[in-house]
Amino acid sequence: MKREALLRLLCVGCLLSLVACVSPKEVLYLQDVGLNDETQALNQHYRVVIQRDDQLRITVSSKQPDLTAPFAFTELKSPSGSAGATASEFKGYQVDSNGNIVLPVIGKIAAAGKTCTQLGDDIAELLRRDDYIRDAAVNVQIVNFKFSVLGEVNAPGTYTVAGERITILEALSKAGDLNIDGNRTITIVREQNGQRSIANLDLRSKELFDSPYYYLQQNDVLYVTPSERKVNTRSDAAQWYGWGLSGMGVLMVIIAMMAA
């Protein structure tokens, strides 16, 4: 009985020495949200602006449909049999490197730096002012709103979304969520108005909701770094340490069996 108890104890000790424990403090989201927290008003003041290389869908409507025909969007048919191709691909108005688009009748107009609503109002005003379409109503949409997620997530990649509103939590959800080795303080890279900004957001704190990065802008890049635990367990020193413990455990088991 003593021999069996000793062997069991040694085996358990060897296993425990090789297991890396993960504290809930490292992985749980929104840890400072209590059960009795008061309801908070939603922050709806996100502002997505048009950027260079954006692709826009611009729809002009009027009681006189013939006048809106030059603005009708087109669809580019995809070649049959092409891998991963959809039946048709939207071809809209591309914002050039100077931040402009070229429209029928109107010509060149500045787009970058404006919201879709602002650009739509500007186009409608020009059409009405030139007495071309007196009752013009213009709707503008960004059709290539995308973001990228890299690092310790289950499905890294670039994602395109419909609409202009997506939160950082929704973006991570699309990427399959962080895996257990992902650092819960993530990095966001944003390029806007000719400038690049980099910020770190702690997913474990409810202050996340107040961050200007909570709502994504198009082309944002989210990077989830590996935790120190993963980095340490992948290092050469850590691997030799683990192998040494394993060898020591096996040696202790053999000595115990020989002494019994």
1-17 residue pLDDT tens:
555 555 554 554 544 44
User: What are the tens digits of pLDDT across the range 35-48?
Assistant: 666 566 666 667 88
165 Cβ contact partners less than 8 Å away, ≥ 6 residues apart: 46, 48, 215
Provide CB contacts within 8 A for 198, sequence distance 6+: 187, 188, 189, 190
Quick check: is 6 in a domain?
yes
Q: Is residue 153 domain-shared with residue 222, that is, in the same domain? A: yes
- Mean per-residue pLDDT, 40-66: 85
Residue 221 and residue 153 in one domain? yes
Work out the percent of the chain whose per-residue pLDDT is above 70.
65
pLDDT of residue 109: 96
Spatial strand order in the sheet of 55-61: 93-94, 55-61, 137-142
Q: Do 154 and 185 share a domain, yes or no?
A: yes
Query: In the numeric block, which tokens belong to residue 223?
Result: 């990077």
CA 253, CA 247: separation in Å to the nearest integer? Answer: 10
User: CA-to-CA distance for 57 and 74, rounded, in angstroms?
Assistant: 10
Taking only Cα atoms into account, the Rg of the chain, rounded to an integer number of angstroms, comes to: 29
In the structure encoding, which two tokens stand for residue 123, read together? 């186009």
Last residue of a domain, one of 107, 142, 177: 142
Same domain as 60, residue 15:
no
Shared domain check, 185 and 167: yes
My answer on whether 151 and 168 are in the same domain is yes
Give the C-alpha separation, 124 to 46, whole Å: 24
Q: Range with the lowest mean pLDDT among 122-126, 150-154, 208-212, 240-244?
A: 240-244
CATH number at residue 117: 3.30.1950.10
> Three-state SS across 153-170?
ECCCEEEECCCCCCEHHH
Are residues 60 and 120 in contact, defined by beta-carbon separation less than 8 angstroms? no
Contact 176, 161 (CB under 8 A): no
CATH number of the domain at 170, please: 3.10.560.10
Instruction: Please tell me the distance from the alpha carbon of residue 77 to that of residue 87, in angstroms, as a whole number.
Output: 6
Between these two residues, 61 and 72, which has the higher pLDDT value? 61
Q: For residues 132 and 150, state if they share a domain.
A: no
- Residue 41 falls within a domain, yes or no? no
Convert the pLDDT of each residue in 189-236 to its tens digit. 999 878 899 999 999 998 999 899 999 999 999 999 998 766 566 555
Measuring CA to CA, which residue among 71, 90, 91 is closest to residue 138? 71
> Which of 94, 110, 142 is a domain's end point?
142
Number of folded domains in the chain? 3
Domain housing 76: 55-142
Query: What average pLDDT does range 68-88 have in this prediction?
Result: 54
Scanning 37-180, the segments in alpha helix (DSSP H) are 65-68, 116-129, 168-174
Which pLDDT belongs to residue 83?
A: 41
